[in-house]
Homo-oligomer: A and B are copies of this chain.
Amino acid sequence: MSRFDQFFSDLAKKLKASEIRELLKWVRGKNVISFGGGFPSPELYPVKELAEIAKRIIEEKKHVALQYTLTEGLPELRSALKEFMERKDGIKVESEDNILITSGSQQALDIIGRLFINPGDAVIMELPTYLAAINAFNLQSPRYYGVPIDYEGIIVEKLEELLTKLKSEGVKPKFLYTVPTAQNPTGITMTMERRKRLLELAEEYDFLIIEDNPYGYILFENMEIKHLKALDKSERVIYLSTFSKVLVPGLRLGWVIADKEIISKMALLKQSLDLCSSTITQFIAYEAIVSGLVDKQIKILPGFYKKKRDAMLNALEKYMPDGVEWTKPIGGMFVFLYAPEQIDTHKMLFKAIDRGVAYVPGKNFYIDGSGHNTMRLNFSYPSLDDIDRGIKILADLLREEIEKTKA
């Protein structure tokens, strides 16, 4: 009980520090191999190029780069993204009015939560799904419905079952949130067949789809994958992406592609949230696109991260005891691990840290309280050596824990 409790809103009272976040914060700087974060590898950051770009755009654009810009986003950046999306992602954007620049994808998630969710509204999430999307939507107190995924992405048959059931109960979901490509936390990519079926179901049962695509430029295999937004014929998909993974997170810039009316509502809300995103960083992002720096990054990233993924998959294969399974991501930054049912990865985390390795307990990615025996392992940040060493430590610990439960 604090003296400020009487002033706090119900929302404020609900907010609790994430145990995991505090733990991982505490781990930072210690001699622990961290598979916990979701950071890109800093070795790939184009430091020199961005330093030059930052100087040049401020010198050239002068007071325009230092002034407020439009809430919707810097016009130059929106134009560049329109062209970029068509060229790189096969998404035909009708006009700049279909694009909103956000302060990271996270802001888009918050805005979407506020614009679409009334307390108690039905929202469909993958099991598991991206933790920070859950946190953003939680602020609006939705009623979640979960649909499991397998190695081909969301199980559309299970989704259809759920939709039929909801319909019979008179419940109409507002939207389904998905990271269809190189998902966080599993690294799983939805097949084309499932993508098409998902869109059909959205049409049939009339709900929106939030397609979150931070990892689409980090694919290790040549895949014939089209974004849901590229397949979307009726403006049902709200597409989110970000410069954080393809360029650098320090810009804090993302973008949304959606129907004009939705973009205009989003901008109207954003006006009250931060007026506009930083003009300086928007000009840097703009220059990074038009100068070809982003294209260059897109060429380098997959090969670099593929080595790390391979190192992790090899180590898992080499060290993990029987009964432990994991995903084989074809892109992104994460492997998801399934330990035997009797293992509680949350409880085990303290022991793991004690032995010098950290991860995120998978439970945090499930909206239904399941996933107690899973964990997310990040391979983009640790070095190749650390990946091997860390997975060995983890495998030894898991073996001991499994043995213990057998005894």
Contact = CB atoms under 8 A, between A and B. Distances in A.
Contacts of A374: none
Nearest to A102: B274
Nearest to A49: B58
A15 B248 contact: no
A221 B249 CA distance: 43
Contact of A280 (B48, B138, B274, B284): B284
A117 interface: yes
A345 interface: no
Interface string A260-280: 011011001101111111111
A297 to B, nearest CB: 12
Contacts of A232: none
A42 interface: yes
A51 B58 contact: yes
A70 to B, nearest CB: 8
Nearest to A117: B9
30 contacts: A2-B261, A6-B172, A11-B114, A12-B114, A12-B265, A15-B269, A17-B264, A47-B58, A47-B59, A47-B62, A47-B66, A51-B58, A55-B55, A66-B250, A67-B250, A69-B250, A103-B103, A103-B252, A104-B274, A107-B273, A135-B272, A136-B272, A138-B272, A249-B279, A250-B278, A252-B275, A252-B276, A252-B277, A274-B274, A280-B280
Interface of A: 2, 4, 6-12, 15-17, 21, 39, 42-43, 45, 47-48, 50-52, 54-56, 58-59, 62-63, 65-69, 103-104, 106-107, 109-110, 114-118, 121, 132, 135-136, 138-140, 172, 174-175, 207-208, 244, 248-252, 259, 261-262, 264-265, 268-269, 271-281, 284
